[in-house]
Amino acid sequence: MLFDFNNLEINNLHPETDFEKKVFFFLEEWFSDSKMVKVQTSGSTGIPKIIEIEKEKMLNSAEMTCDFLGLKEEDTALICLPIEYISGKMMVVRAITRKLKLIISNPSLKPLENLNENIDFCAMTPLQVENSLDKIHFIKNLIIGGAAVSESLKSKINQTLLPSNSPTQIYETYGMSETLSHIALKKTYPTQDEYFNVFDGIEISMDERNCMRISAPQLNSEILQTNDLVEIKNRNQFKFLGRIDNVINSGGAKIFPEQLEALVKKEIPNEVVFLGIKDESFGQKLILVVEGKESELLIHQLSTINYQQKFHKPKEIIFVEKIPRTPNGKVNRLELMSSIQ
């Protein structure tokens, strides 16, 4: 189904699928007299909750993204993210703001399965991209969020798109519910940027822990203090190092699991998570959880990984059938930790 926001009459829409109906209900909420919208947080780093956000600030966020990507009236976009979360809601608001034609695709692991035409814009999770590599050449501007884009996925994207001379531009996003989706993008294809580029009107700084502080008055009236460890290059660029909540203290050494996960994913295609479990000797023992069946090939590949420090090598490797994720696709570290202890 397609919603044309250049000439939209809600009363003429006849949604059929459950997801189309959810999008329709959000449109009713959006065009109501209320100045606020309710949004479900993901729960990837804490307890999921409902927050209220000003529509005006969502419009500001939409303008930032549309301007950055050069989206214009009557361009075509595709929504395939749950409408309950800010990621899905903002896809609709961007379509409203820029009067786009919005294709409604049920959120799934293969949301592009029925796509056979060029579109200008889409937002997906890494897992969705992984399962849609044969179709991403149809997308002019693709943003990937919800989790980090692994080196393995970057390699697959390059192998898929380079031979086709596709004009596709792909970006990794940085943001959260409180920043109304992303406040910075990092190009992943056709070139790979090292740093995230912050949108105009947003100021970044660090606290004494080296965690990011965000001032974005157009999006949130409060200064947002994150638990994201960063390296700031200049006022417009930063590198994400990991969440301070996830830092593992093993034998007095601080270990950033996200960096180790990126290293391992260069060598194997499986999802991996580094965790620190309680240990009398080390305080926290570094373990590696690998999604998938144990095999001689995987064991060999893991044994050849060149860790920068000796204490980066996991003391134990655990194979699990499935790593738990939140409803919007993020790895749920808290649930995974509970399941293996």
Q: What is the pLDDT of residues 74-127, one digit of tens each?
A: 999 999 999 999 999 999 999 999 999 999 999 999 999 999 999 999 999 998
What's residue 101's pLDDT?
96
Average pLDDT over residues 319-334: 85
**∠ at Cα 148 (108, 185), nearest 5°?**
100
**Dihedral over Cα of 199, 201, 205, 211: its sign:** negative
What homologous superfamily is domain 247-340 in, according to CATH? ANL, C-terminal domain (3.30.300.30)
In this structure, are residues 151 and 272 in contact, taking their beta carbons and an 8 Å threshold?
no
- Rg over alpha carbons for the chain, rounded to the nearest Å, is 21
Q: Which two tokens stand for residue 137?
A: 């050449």
For the chain, helix, strand, coil in percent to 5 are 30, 30, 40
Residue of 9 and 305 predicted with greater confidence: 305
How far apart (Å, rounded) are the C-alpha atoms in residues 126 and 136? 12
Q: How many CB atoms lie within 10 A of CB 154?
A: 19
How far apart (Å, rounded) are the C-alpha atoms in residues 60 and 69? 15
**Residues 298-303: contacts with CB within 8 Å, 24+ apart?**
298/268, 298/270, 301/267, 301/268, 302/264, 302/267, 302/268
198-255 pLDDT per residue, tens: 999 999 999 999 999 999 999 999 999 999 999 999 999 999 998 998 999 998 888 9
H helix count then E strand count, the chain:
8, 19
49-71 pLDDT per residue, tens: 788 999 999 999 999 999 999 99
What's residue 46's pLDDT?
55
Q: Is the pLDDT of residue 32 over 80?
A: yes
How far apart (Å, rounded) are the C-alpha atoms in residues 229 and 224? 14
Tell the CATH topology of 2-243.
Answer: Rossmann fold (3.40.50)
What's residue 43's pLDDT?
58
Residue 227: what residue type? N
Q: Where is average pLDDT lowest: 54-58, 147-151, 210-214, 301-305?
A: 147-151
In this structure, are residues 277 and 285 in contact, taking their beta carbons and an 8 Å threshold?
yes
In this structure, are residues 144 and 124 in contact, taking their beta carbons and an 8 Å threshold?
yes
253-288 pLDDT per residue, tens: 889 999 999 899 888 989 999 999 998 888 999 999
Q: Is the pLDDT of residue 327 over 80?
A: no
Q: Is the pLDDT of residue 44 over 60?
A: no
Q: How many CB atoms lie within 10 A of CB 316?
A: 12
Give me the residue spans of the domains in the chain: 2-243, 247-340
Residue of 63 and 15 predicted with greater confidence: 63
